């Protein structure tokens, strides 16, 4: 099954189940066990493991469910099993975690390895007259006015296939090579983010804290402390960028998958370990 999720990360210690901590995976697996009347916890595979405090509107997971457990989800009004599952989950999950949709996954679907890309947004309010207390859980309030043009210029220089070691928390056995597909800054007129500064950041995959490091480098540019050329210099020299912006401005907005008949092939391709491209 494929589930589409949204959550407010404020009250969670990130995605991954950890003993004694409230995590998205932990709460969702417990809720699924209740609704499916299963004594074993279901095992969830997630598209994007979000850090503590990071939100999601477009998170995707998959899990295996025994056919007879699904068949047991019958509703008086004749709704199908996946509809009943979503309804019952709404009854047992807390308000900060919503399963928006459930469906039988197409053959070959793997929430993590079939994904083509993940798209995050980072939201900043740099205008005191625009601060909205109702949005404070997912918008960074910045005291200083930021230079949109300089930030957009800096962001563009980072797009492409690179070793993002400078913007990743190091892990011994993992590559830090990623394809940054999109990194834009905009100040929307109208719409839900009117007046905010919004970064749209899309990549095939992200390393730990990568988006928040990239955003941190751009804020230094926006404040005028660094030139727009600086973030790319940091990237090239692979020296560790120090500033990681707060988690609460970050939201996983979308996970992009290929058409159904390419899902299995994509999963195989992704499993092959990424390598540093020849210079």
Give the interface size with its own copies as a residue count (CB under 8 A): 30
| Distance of alpha carbon 15 from alpha carbon 53, whole angstroms | 9
Residues in Cβ contact with 88 at an 8 Å cutoff, skipping those fewer than 6 apart:
35, 73
**95 binds its own copies, rule: CB under 8 A:** yes
| Distance of alpha carbon 112 from alpha carbon 23, whole angstroms | 18
| Distance of alpha carbon 195 from alpha carbon 228, whole angstroms | 22
**C-beta closer to its own copies: residue 22 or 171:** 22
51 catalytic? Reply is yes
Shortest distance (Å) from residue 134 CB to its own copies: 5
Shortest distance (Å) from residue 279 CB to its own copies: 42
The separation between the first and the last C-alpha atoms of the chain, rounded to the nearest angstrom, is 41
**192 binds its own copies, rule: CB under 8 A:** yes
**C-beta closer to its own copies: residue 85 or 207:** 85
**Contact between 202 and 211 (Cβ < 8 Å):** no
DSSP E strand boundaries for 31-107: 45-46, 55-62, 97-103
Question: Taken in order 239, 241, 242, 244, is the CA torsion positive or negative?
Answer: negative
State which of residues 71, 191, 259, 278 lies at the interface with its own copies (CB under 8 A). Answer: 191
**Contact between 44 and 63 (Cβ < 8 Å):** yes
**136 binds its own copies, rule: CB under 8 A:** yes
**C-beta closer to its own copies: residue 12 or 167:** 12
Shortest distance (Å) from residue 197 CB to its own copies: 16
**C-beta closer to its own copies: residue 97 or 215:** 97
Residue 3 host element (H or E):
strand 2-7
Stretch that binds its own copies, among 29-37, 172-180, 186-194, 236-244 (CB under 8 A): 186-194
> Which residues are part of the catalytic machinery?
51
Q: Using CB under 8 A, list all residues that contact its own copies.
A: 6-8, 55, 57, 86-87, 90, 95-98, 100-101, 128-138, 190-192, 194, 251
């Amino acid at each position: 099954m494929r589930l589409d999720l949204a959550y407010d990360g404020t009250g969670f210690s990130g995605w991954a189940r950890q003993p004694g901590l409230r995590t998205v995976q932990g709460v969702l697996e417990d809720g699924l066990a209740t609704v499916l009347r299963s004594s074993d916890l279901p095992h969830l595979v997630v598209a994007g493991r979000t850090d503590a405090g990071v939100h999601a509107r477009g998170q995707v997971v998959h899990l295996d469910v025994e056919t007879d457990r699904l068949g047991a989800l019958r509703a008086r009004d004749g709704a199908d099993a996946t509809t009943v599952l979503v309804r019952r989950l709404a009854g047992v999950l807390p308000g900060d975690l919503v399963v928006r949709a459930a469906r039988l996954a197409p053959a070959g679907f793997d929430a993590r390895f079939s994904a083509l890309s993940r798209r995050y947004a980072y939201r900043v309010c740099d205008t005191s007259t625009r601060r909205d207390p109702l949005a404070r859980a997912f918008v960074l309030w910045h005291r200083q006015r930021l230079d949109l043009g300089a930030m957009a210029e800096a962001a563009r220089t980072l797009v492409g296939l690179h070793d993002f070691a400078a913007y990743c928390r190091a892990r011994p056995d993992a590559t830090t090579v990623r394809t940054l597909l999109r990194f834009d800054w905009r100040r929307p007129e109208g719409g839900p983010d009117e007046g905010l500064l919004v970064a749209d950041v899309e990549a095939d995959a992200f390393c730990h804290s990568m988006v928040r490091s990239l955003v941190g480098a751009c804020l230094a540019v926006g404040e005028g402390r660094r030139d727009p050329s600086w973030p790319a210099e940091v990237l090239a020299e692979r020296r560790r960028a120090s500033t990681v912006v707060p988690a609460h401005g970050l939201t996983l907005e979308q996970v992009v998958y290929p058409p159904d008949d390419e899902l299995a092939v994509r999963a195989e391709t992704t499993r092959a370990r990424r390598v540093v491209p020849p210079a």
